[in-house]
Structure 1
Amino acid sequence: MSTVLIVVALVVVFAAVVAAVLYVGPGKASGRRGRGLKRRFGPEYERTVALHDGDTKAAERELAERVTRHGDLRPRPLSREAREQYVALWAGLQEQFVDAPRQAVAEADRLLARLAEDRGFPAASAYEEQVAALSVHHAHYVDGYRRVHRTARADAGTGTSAGTGAGTEELRAAMVDARRLFEALVTAQPEDHARHAPRRPAARGHRVHAPWPKGSGA
């Protein structure tokens, strides 16, 4: 075999090897993206798939769009004074729940919206966009915010005098779920949001989990 043919053969083989290494088929790329989104969003991934009636591709497109819009958001830190004020306000809501659970849930909804806005998330007036951003950075806790928001709106729509709103146990469950996001927002530092695995939000010396008042049953 001539030198020219040998060189040509080597070039062809080298090109084939490079192509095999670099080429990733659409199915493999999609699968890899899906696994990444599952790790990042956790329960939010399953919730979004269910909302799309099991269509994982549609769900992954929606989640990927959220990351594109909000993935670069860097939450602002709270001052020590602001943090202490928020902790006191939430503790007050837990005390208020004993005598006025519906009002406590409605105020918890507003408090979370304001806290998220203070941390640099979209404005409280843009609820859906605020939740979308929170889902990117607090995927394991954001559904608690949705729950307390739904409960507060349902009671506002039915009126408490009719007796058709949420029961006390449902209201309490909504508060407990929402508290997880509250703790994450009030204690997490900006660098914590680069990590997408769930973590205990309250560090030693900064406990924000005020117990439910005696007699509340929670």
Structure 2
Amino acid sequence: MSTGLIIALIVIVAVVAVAAALLMQRSRGSRHGVGLKRRFGPEYDRAVARHDGDTKAAERELAGRVERHGDLRARPLEPAERERYEARWTAAQERFVDSPGDAVAEADRLLAELAGARGFPDGGQYEEQLAALSVHHAHHVEGYRRVHRVAQARAHGAHDGGAGT
């Protein structure tokens, strides 16, 4: 075999190897995005919107949440603890008819306390608690966000936080 042919074969092999590596990298990145979209559902769309349509920035944010909170394992409640939370939830629901604002405020406190009791970040760190909850309960976190927003608006003097009964 001539030297020119050997060099040509080496160049062809190198080009094919680089092209394969690039395709694998690109494929892995798109699967990562699809996995995040599946895992986070509506929270994925919310993150993309918050980043003005920049999916890479949204995916970096969501991947960071998974890295920080993905290993978190919710601890089960003791039966007595569970009963106390259920009783408070029932009382908040019953109060809603006569005092919806107070009931929503109690529901917000209850959700934050319950998440803390289950091992999520403390309710005093709302954004971090929300981030952790979004990793494990992404399809429910928007409801928590809405309750919190209404409760906070009411606490700061707004009549109903922009939400009706």
TM-score when normalising by structure 1: 0.65
Shift of 1:50: 1.1
1:139-178 aligned within 5 A: 139-158=138-157, 164-166=158-160, 170-171=164-165
Give the residue type in structure 2 aligned to 1:48.
A
Shift of 1:167: 7.6
Give the distance between the partners of 2:75 and 2:86, measured in 1 at CA.
17
The change in CA–CA distance for 1:156 and 1:133 in structure 2 (over 3 A counts) is: same
More helix by share: 2
**What fraction of aligned residue pairs are identical, expressed as a percent?**
61
Partner of 2:47: 48
The change in CA–CA distance for 1:42 and 1:167 in structure 2 (over 3 A counts) is: closer
Partner of 1:209: none
Give the distance between the partners of 1:73 and 1:157, measured in 2 at CA.
33
Give the residue type in structure 1 aligned to 2:160.
A
Partner of 1:102: 101
Give the residue type in structure 2 aligned to 1:72.
D
Residues 122 and 129, structure 2, Cα contact 8 Å, conserved in 1:
yes
The change in CA–CA distance for 1:19 and 1:93 in structure 2 (over 3 A counts) is: same
Give the residue type in structure 2 aligned to 1:65.
G
TM-score when normalising by structure 2: 0.84
Shift of 1:30: 2.0
The change in CA–CA distance for 1:37 and 1:115 in structure 2 (over 3 A counts) is: same
Q: What do the CA deviations read for 1:55-84 (whole angstroms, capped 9, x no partner)?
A: 111111100000000001011111111112
Residues 101 and 168, structure 1, Cα contact 8 Å, conserved in 2:
no
Partner of 2:68: 69
Aligned length: 162
Give the residue type in structure 2 aligned to 1:132.
A
* RMSD of aligned alpha carbons: 2.8
